[in-house]
Structure 1
Amino acid sequence: MRKFSALLAVLMVFTAFAGFVSAHTVTVDGAIEDDWTAVPDTHSPNTWQLYGDEWVWKDATGDERTDFNNFNPDPRVDITEFHITADDTYIYFLIKFNDLDVVGQDGAPGIMITIDTDQKSGSGETWFGYTSDTQVAQDGNANWEYQLLIDLANNQVTDGGVVHGDGIPVWNGGSPLDLVDTSWNDISSWDDTSSSGDMFVASTANDVVEVRIKKSELGNPSTIRVELGVVRAHPTGNDRADNGVAWNINGAPDVLDAMTTTGPNTWDEVQDGYVDYYADVDISQVPFFSNIAVALAVALGALLVFRRR
């Protein structure tokens, strides 16, 4: 009886501990208050900071290009925050805009997140998607193995509606969630039976897009090097052909806002055709134990208790 009581106590302790350090799992629904706890109000613009298990970039407000709004502010494409967190299975992204006023229509944002998983100079692709005439850092240190493309102009996107990955590029009639490799093949996935896979939700009420992708699709990296850019998008098009899906600015890059320390306007960063700023996010620093690790800890604790009896 004493052994059983001791074992039960160990199990209770480890269960409580596991709850305390549990993974930061995000419910992708566009309602951000319960899942994204970081509030970067005092955070300096154009810098990143860790808030517990959330990596947060705070972008300068009003630094977007205004080429398509008669050179008036264009808050629809003005990034204000970019969050990243992770759990055992998924990496989660939150992109917040100044005023995401429309989805599912021509001219809504096209979001591009490049993901460099090996951090090797010169290894990977350089071009942002949506034929945006823009490349990642010209020093070659942010060439990407994967790129996450979210086409909010596509008519499959509804306000607050869930969009799943399907492994078919949007330019071939697939879902407007694409996770492409360096050959521009969409490797995103979704399983209806287990409700697992890649998904996003856009909310005009909260001015955000929440996204999750499977770590395994990226090769389970411990660190990702990311760049972020936004264009205005057309509802359809071919990302690798002349009729691209980005609203085109003749003779200039099409990225209207980006994660960058160069300013005061995004034009100062992209005028040479490159976004040179990138950031490394160590997702192995997310303070959680996997379920397997917790189970092993419980088993080890129980074994030690019984060996002492």
Structure 2
Amino acid sequence: MREDLNEGQADGPDTSLFRRFLPEIDHRTTGAVLSHPGFARIRPAYIAATTAHYEIATLPGHWQSTAGRVAALGALVCNDAVFDPADRATWPTLARFKQSVAMFGLTSPRQIDEIVARLAGTGYLTLERPPEDGRVRWLRPTERLLAWDREVLASYYGVLRQLYPETGYGPALARDPAFQRAQRAVAVTTFPVIGRFLAANADLLPFLSMNNGVRVLLMLCEANTADPMAPVRESDLAGLKPRFGFSRSHVRNVLVAAAEQGLVARAQPGGFSLTPRGLTALDRFIADTLSSHDMTYRMAVQAMEAAPLRACG
């Protein structure tokens, strides 16, 4: 039986949120995810499950998980997934890597050079010399990076399965390397999509460029959800320093900036809480990422189903 992927459109928040990221792919839209009756229930699960992979002890390179570094990790795996040694246009060179990451507008060329050096030095990336051209190097993720990436994918699809158990997302949750390669290969075509939905969430956009700015707000959201009546103080978020590497003063800077933007309200004595506007921005961010993962899941399954047909033909 065909799934009704975007049920509830008439009662959705903003009709534009029900538009598909790619018109030709029938996937669950941001609006459908947001209007799901279980969305508020899975919000804490999303924050806990996805954030765990971006802690210093877990993140490849073992350093702060800035938005630019996270985007770069995804680009490395995606570029490798479409790599064909016989097709020079697909070679995962440093130049191609910089072009991919530039679509997100989060990282400078110098920072990308630092990312490559760090990942190579910590065993997450190898620089291979192609026999056809000794002047360039292929940037190849090691199994350590690929294994981390499979866990990241499973965290997003695990949350999606809580909302849509009928879909299951089995290959992603099984950490299937073949699914990972297919999903990351199709994801290359969605880099502009990701850039657009990040830019469209105007309230949250400034915090993407602040080291872990969005993560601080997600943690504030998690704390507010755990005890809605208790304003959260900077000291309450002090545990973020050993996990993510940012200081209490950085937490303060994020919260003050968010308060100036109307996303956070100051509460007495000395606490902070998300405003409805702030929660709306975070919810859209969560729904955008879940929607895009549902889309790439369907694209990857289609690609895997088509591969044997191409081989037989």
Q: What TM-score results when the alignment is normalised by the length of structure 2?
A: 0.25
- Whose radius of gyration is greater, 1 or 2? 1
